[in-house]
Structure formats: structure tokens, C-alpha cells
Structure 1
Amino acid sequence: MAQIIKFFDDIHTMMQNNGDPRTAKWPLMSSPLPTLAICLTYVYLVKVLGPRIMENKKPMELRNVLIYYNFFQVLFSLWLFCEIGMSGWLTGRYNLRCEPVDYSNHPVTIRMVHACWWYYFSKFTEFFDTIFFVLRKKNEHISTLHVIHHGVMPMSVWFGVKFTPGGHSTFFGLINTFVHIVMYTYYLLAALGPQYQKYLWWKKYLTTFQMVQFVAIMVHAFQLLFIDCNYPRAFVWFIGMHAVMFFFLFNEFYKQAYQKKGRIGVTKATVQKGASPNGKLTNGHVTDSAKSTSHTANGYSNSRAADYYVKASPEDLHLRSTSSIKVTAGASEVK
């Protein structure tokens, strides 16, 4: 027991001696334990407690809530992008090749430090993406990968705000907030209803854009392994490997969502042209089982993308398991 107490005392001492004094007394910055506790509570809530509470309840209709939430996230991400950009990256003050952390109290530097903390805070607001799944009983979308993606980020960003709030690593925040502006705009359009389907043709390209983001972050971080720059090498690996991990996760999602979707679409087209899944003719008509999946209980056509978004937005771009894709008599139904 004495060894355990000593271990935590040593960690606390290390945090105090090496942490940035400018953020030491800011909310949640004195220790990693509050952030860790919040992340663990989030995991328990969305994976265990929430589904248990909602088990015998009807799914909540949250369309208006989703509209306001996504609109807020667009504005919040836009503000963060401007703050991080105007504190260095978009003014010529920061160097893409090497940007050590500025630990001074210069007004522009302090502006960047504040932007780093608010970026950290934004990772908690993104928990609501999953909470809305729970309230709407979309538990099949709360995959392990989805929860890891959201649950890890606050803890990861905490270390940056604690030790390196500024400099090279803030490029991650600049790119990520820009992607979130685009991403939550897509979610907002999706939540507005089926009449906005014609504006949702670019989902596939948004996923590609997300992967390009991680490639840019990888290159930007790992270049410091070959450049003499006064920036902590541990954070180079930390940020770079995060980008590698998320790139492969999103790449796997891309293959599941679009390549498999393409194969399912071919099967569906075959049925609609008069051939059953086993190759037998059906006199030019879709089989009864296919017809039964063409509309939901609420009257929305499953063949229309916008109908799905009204019911399930904004989860489609989040990580999920391949088991959520079902094929019924040649007609695809994504839950």
C-alpha cells in the first residue's frame, strides 16, 4: 500500500514540476484523474447504464435537439479554428517545419493557450454524439471503436494542455476543427429531413477528407524525428501514433461503409430488374420480402438516403461494426 501511495505522489510531483504553470490552476488541469474519471463514466454510461435504462422505454424523438446540437458544434468548431489559426498558424507566426512551445506570457501566446484548453473542452461536448444514440436506442452504433474514438480523446488532449499548450502539436487542433466544421455541417443537413437528401451526396468524400486529415497530421508530426527542433520527442510519437491509429480505423470504416455498400447495391438492382437473389425470374417484380423492407414503420423509404439520416443522423460517419449491415432478399437496410 505504501508503494502505491508513493507511486501516485511521484506522479503528482512530476505533474507539478513539469506541467505548464500557466494552465496549472485551470479547470480539470491540476491532475489527470478528473478527466480520466469523466471518460470512464462516459464509457459506463453509453455501454452499460444508458442502454439498461432505455431497455423498456420508447426511443426518444430528438430531431430538433440534433439540429440545435449540430448547429452549435459547427459554430464552436468554427470559433476554435479561428482562435487556433489567428494565434499562430494563419498569421505566419508559426512555422510548419518546426514550432517549439512558447512558454511566455505574450498576449498572442496566451490566446493560443486558451484555445488549447477550449479544444480540450470540446472533446467532452462530443460525448453527446453517443448519448443521443443511447436515448434513441441506436445501440448497434455504439461499437467499441466508436467509444474508444470519443473516450480516448479528452485524455489525450489533456496531456497537451498540461505540458505543451502551443507550438507544433496545435496543428492537430487546427486541422481537426476545420474537419469538424465540415462534418457537423453535414450532420446538420442530415438532421433537417428527407428534403435535404440532394445536399448529402458528398458523404463518401467527407470520410476521405477525414483520412487525409490524419495523413497530414502524421507527416507534420513525424517530420520532427528528422529535424532538430526544440520540441518534446515524446509528444511527436504520441501525436503521430494517434494519427496512424485513427487513419486505419477510418480506413476500415470506409471499406465497410462504401465498398460493401457498392456490392449490396448491385444485388438490389438485380432484384429490381426482375431477378431474385438466387437468379430466378420474378416476372419483373420485386419479391414480397424485398417490398416489406422498402418502408419503415414511419413510412420512410429505406431506399432513400435522407430517410435513413432523419432516423439515424448523425451516426453514419462514426465507427461501427460491420454487423450493422443486413441484406434482406437483395434489398439493403442500414440500421
Structure 2
Amino acid sequence: MEIINRIVDGYHDLMDNQSDQRVKDWFLMSSPFPTLAICLTYVFTVKVLGPKLMENRKPFELKNVLVWYNLFQVIFSSWLFYESIASGWFTSYSFRCQPVDYSNNPQAMRIAYGCWWYYFSKFTEFFDTIFFVMRKKFDHVSKLHVIHHGIMPMSVWFGVKFTPGGHSTFFGMLNTFVHIVMYSYYLLAAFGPQVQKYLWWKKYLTALQMVQFVMVFLHAFQLLFIDCDYPRAFVWWIGMHAVLFYYLFSDFYKQAYIKKAKSLKLKQKAEVESSKTDYESKERKLPLLNGFSNGSALGDVRQRMAGAVASQ
């Protein structure tokens, strides 16, 4: 009981005294458990409940829904990216070391609100997976996809609760830019085959996401080697997330593009060799077939039989 009481007291001290008091009354910010419950519900829905409900149903036709949804995400991501720039990045923020401003001045509050809206955007992205399930695109509901979407709201919650601004918002700024590109791709793809044939750059989108995580990793861990008034715990929190997501995305890239390309080349090579073998086989058979067709081969057989009889 004493251990449990210490854990409970430590939790309350962390939530009440060490968090940013400006955000404590904001929606979903009082406790991490509602966000955790939503994330777990999301995973259960897209991996268990959704596929079960769709098992004996036809896929939904969601073309118009997807067009409007992806358009919304492009606009929302563009606004979030603009807010990150207007609140400090590329203007007053330092890429080397940027402490969190916990004051109530307008600029500090603007970046804090931007952080909360970025956190909220992670819930809207759940619909990426929900639409896959409704369309019975179960192969798209991959380990990478579910882990990425399932972890992000919980991860960003801690950022908003303790450091809504400063150094770690570099990740949000980069991520919203990547999402502008990503949802623009999905928007174009939603228009159908007449547009999809021009979307040859999908693998470069995955590469852009990997570059993003490398930049976040380097930007976060540089604080381990300099003096900066920024919580070291969040240096590790952001940095290790970058490592995890880089590993997941690089594994996806290898499976989806490198190994698939090698497999396709091997298949094409096998088809060429098979065609070559069939051609050589036909070439060998052709003289014999021609002989039978003009009677020469049959005459040769008769002469051999006659020779054999005469010798006897």
C-alpha cells in the first residue's frame, strides 16, 4: 500500500505541479487516461471490431468522402504549419536551443494553442485507417500504420501537457509540412485512375517521411551536448520516437519498394528464360515437324526399316 500511495502521490505531483498550468483546463488535458482510452479504442476498432463488422459486407464506395476528407487535411495541415512559422520557427526561434516560454504573452500562448490543435489533429488522422477498413483495404492496415497512428495522440499529449512550445515543436512544424504533401497525394489519388497514373512519386513520399525523422533525431539529441534550458526527458522522448518511426518507415520502404522491385525483376527474368527455353525447344522440333509434313522424315524411317530387313 505504501508503494501504491507513493506512485499515486507522484502522479498527482507530476500532473498538478510540474505540468504547464496554462493548459490544465483545456479539453482532454487534465489527465492522460482519456487520450489513452481513445487510442486503445482506435486500435481495437481497426484491428478487431471493424474487420469483423465488414466481414460479410460489400466495401463502401467513399470517393467523394475521401476527396473532402483529404482536402480538409491539406487545409488543416497548412494552417498548422503556418501557425508554427508565425509563432516562432524561421523567425524568432533558435534551431540550436529553444526553451519553452511558459508566460501568458500572446506569442507564447499562440504556440501553446497551436500545439493543442496539432494534438487534436492526431485524432482526425484516425479516419485514414477507418476508411481503409470500410473499403476493406485490410492490407493497408499494416503494423506501421496502426502503431504510428495509435501512438501519436498519446505522445503529443505529453508534449502539450509539459512543453507546449520551444524545442520539441520543431517536430510538429516538420510533420505538418510532410502532411501537406502526403494528404495532397491522397487527395489526388481519391479522384481515381485518370489521376492515379500520374502519381509515380509515392515512394519519394515515404523517403520524405524518413528524412523528417532523421532531422528530428539530430535536432533533439544535439541538446545532449550543449547547455539549454529545456527538459532532458523530452529530448529523449522526442529523439527515441524519431528512432522508432524511422525504423518502422525504413522497414516499410524496404518491403514495399526494394524487395518488391527485386522480386519483380526475378519474375521478369524467369519469364524471359522460360520464353527462351520454349523458343529453343520449338526450334529443335521444327525440322522434324517439317520433315513429317513433306514426307522426307517418313521416307527416312522407311529406308532404315528396309535396310534393317535386308541385313537380316
Amino acid at match of 2:207: T
Q: Please say which of residues 231-240 and 254-263 is displaced more in the overlay.
A: 254-263
In structure 2, what is the equivalent of residue 26 of structure 1? 26
Deviation at 1:272, TM superposition (A): 6.9
Partner residue of 2:121?
122
CA distance in 1, matches of 2:104, 2:26: 15
Question: How high is the TM-score relative to the length of structure 1?
Answer: 0.79
Superposed CA RMSD in Å reads 2.0
Summarize deviations over 1:295-317 as a string: whole Å, max 9, x none.
xxxxxxxxxxxxxxxxxxxxxxx
**How far apart are 1:280 and its partner, in Å?**
4.4
**Does the Cα contact within 8 Å between 1:80 and 1:177 map onto a contact in 2?**
yes
8 Å Cα contact 2:112/2:160 also seen in 1:
yes
Who is 2:200 aligned against? Answer: 201
Separation (CA, whole Å) in 2 of partners of 1:9 and 1:31:
14
2-structure distance, mates of 1:282, 1:234: 68
The answer on whether the counterparts of 1:12 and 1:31 sit within 8 Å (CA) in structure 2 is no
Describe the SS at the equivalent of 2:30: coil
Aligned in 2, Cα 1:275/1:63: closer, same or farther, shift over 3 Å? farther
Superposed displacement of residue 5, structure 1: 6.3
C-alpha distance in 2, partners of 1:238/1:113?
Answer: 19
Q: Distance in 2 between matches of 1:81 and 1:282?
A: 60
Shift of 1:198: 4.1
More helix by share: 2
- Equivalent residue of 2:182, what SS? helix
* Contact 1:189–1:199 (CA under 8 A) maintained in structure 2: no
Matches within 5 A, 1:189-268: 189-267=188-266
What's 2:35 paired with? 35
Would the aligned equivalents of 1:274 and 1:282 in 2 still touch at CA under 8 Å? no
Compute the displacement of 1:188 (Å). 0.9
Secondary structure at the aligned position of 1:258 is classed as: helix
Question: 2 CA distance for matches of 1:269 and 1:63?
Answer: 34
What do residues 156-194 of structure 1 show as CA deviations (whole Å, max 9, x unaligned)? 000000000000000000000000000111111111111
Deviation at 1:48, TM superposition (A): 1.1
SS of 1:24's equivalent in the other structure is coil
Separation of aligned partners in 1, 2:279 and 2:151: 51
CA contact (8 A) 2:126 2:149 kept: yes
Per-residue deviation, 1:266: 2.0
User: Match for residue 281 of structure 1?
Assistant: 278
1:9 and 1:61 mapped to 2: Cα distance?
51
Q: Secondary structure at the match of 1:57?
A: coil
Opposite residue 30 of structure 2, the aligned amino acid is: S
Does the 8 Å CA contact 2:83/2:114 hold for their aligned counterparts?
yes
What corresponds to 1:97 in structure 2?
96
* CA–CA distance in structure 2, aligned partners of residues 147 and 70 of structure 1: 19
Q: Secondary structure of the equivalent of 2:168?
A: helix
In structure 1, how many angstroms separate the alpha carbons of the residues matched to 2:132 and 2:8?
A: 36
- 1:261 CA drift (Å): 2.2
Q: How far, CA to CA, are the matches of 2:186 and 2:279 in structure 1?
A: 39
Letter in 1 for 2:172: G
Whether the 8 Å CA contact 2:144–2:249 is kept in 1: the answer is: no
Would the aligned equivalents of 2:46 and 2:133 in 1 still touch at CA under 8 Å?
yes
- Determine the C-alpha separation between the residues in 2 that align with 1:196 and 1:221: 39
Instruction: Tell me the CA shift for residue 90 of structure 1.
Output: 2.7
Partner letter of residue 65 of structure 2? V
Larger Rg: 2
Correspondence for 2:302: none
Aligned with 2:113: secondary structure?
helix
- Preserved CA contact (<8 Å) 1:88 1:94: yes
Distance 2:64 2:164 in 1: 36
> Which runs of no fewer than 5 residues in structure 2 stay unpaired?
281-312
What one-letter code is carried by the residue in structure 2 that aligns with 1:281? D
Q: How far apart are residue 265 of structure 1 and its match?
A: 2.8
SS in 1 for 2:219: helix
Q: Report sequence identity in percent.
A: 68
- Tell me the matched-pair count: 280
Tell me how far 1:110 sits from its aligned partner. 0.6
